[in-house]
Chains A and B, each alone.
Chain A
Amino acid sequence: EPEVTQTPSHQVTQMGQEVILRCVPISNHLYFYWYRQILGQKVEFLVSFYNNEISEKSEIFDDQFSVERPDGSNFTLKIRSTKLEDSAMYFCASSVLEAGEAFFGQGTRLTVV
C-alpha cells in the first residue's frame, strides 16, 4: 500500500541551526501539506503546496520556514534558524485531490536544544 514517508524519524538540533525535514509523498498525489504538533497541543496546519508553489500558509509559517519540491518526488520543510519553540512533531501529508483524503506520514520529532 502506498504511503507517505518522512525522514528522519527524530532529529536533535542546536538552537540557531538550520534543519531540513524530508518527505516523500505518494507518487500520484498533487497536493502536499506540513502540519506540526507541539507536545500536548493540537495538530496545527503550517502550509499547503500545489503546482510548485505555496497555496496557503498559516501565521506560524513565517520567514524562518520554507518548503520545496526539489526533484518531483521529495517535499522538504526547512527551518532556517531553529528556536526552542520549534520543538514539535512535524507531519507531512499529501492528497490526490484538493478536497480528497489526506494521507499522513509517521512524523519527524524535532528537538531543539
Chain B
Amino acid sequence: GDSVTQMEGPVTLSEEAFLTINCTYTATGYPSLFWYVQYPGEGLQLLLKATKADDKGSNKGFEATYRKETTSFHLEKGSVQVSDSAVYFCALSGRGGSNYKLTFGKGTLLTVNP
C-alpha cells in the first residue's frame, strides 16, 4: 500500500538557518503530495502541495518539488524563523476511484531558537 517516510526529528535550528526535511513516498500511480503543519495547540494546516511530477509547491517561504524519479518531496526553507516552530507532516493522496484519503508520514518536530 501507499506509504510516506520522513526524516526523524526533532530538528533544532537557529533563526535564519536553512531547513530541509526529507520525505520519500511509495505509491501506485501518480499521487498528489502535500506538506501539512501543526502549530502548538492547533489543527493540521495545509502548507503546500504539488499534484504532478516536477511541480513545485511553495508557501510562506517554504518550497518542495515533486520528484518522481527519486519519489521524494523534500521540504526546504532558506531562512527559518522562531514562528516556524511546529510539527511538519508529509502526506500523499492517492488517485483512482474515490480513494483520495491522505497517507501521512510520522511528522517532524522543528524547533527554531532565536
Interface string of A37-58 (1 = CB under 8 A from B): 0000111110010100001101
Residue from B32, B89, B101, B104 whose CB has the most chain A CB atoms within 10 Å: B101
* A44-B43 contact given A55-B98, A56-B99, A99-B32, CB 8 Å threshold: no
A/B interface sample: 9 pairs, CB < 8 A: A43-B107, A45-B101, A45-B103, A48-B101, A50-B98, A56-B98, A93-B44, A99-B95, A106-B42
A43 and B49 within 8 A (CB):
no
Seen from chain B, the residues whose Cβ lies within 8 Å of a Cβ on chain A are 4, 32, 36, 41-46, 49, 89, 91, 93, 95, 98-107
Q: A42-B4, A48-B100 are in contact. List 16 more A-B contacts (CB 8 A).
A: A6-B43, A33-B101, A33-B102, A42-B107, A43-B44, A43-B91, A43-B102, A43-B104, A56-B98, A58-B101, A99-B32, A101-B49, A104-B36, A106-B41, A106-B42, A106-B43
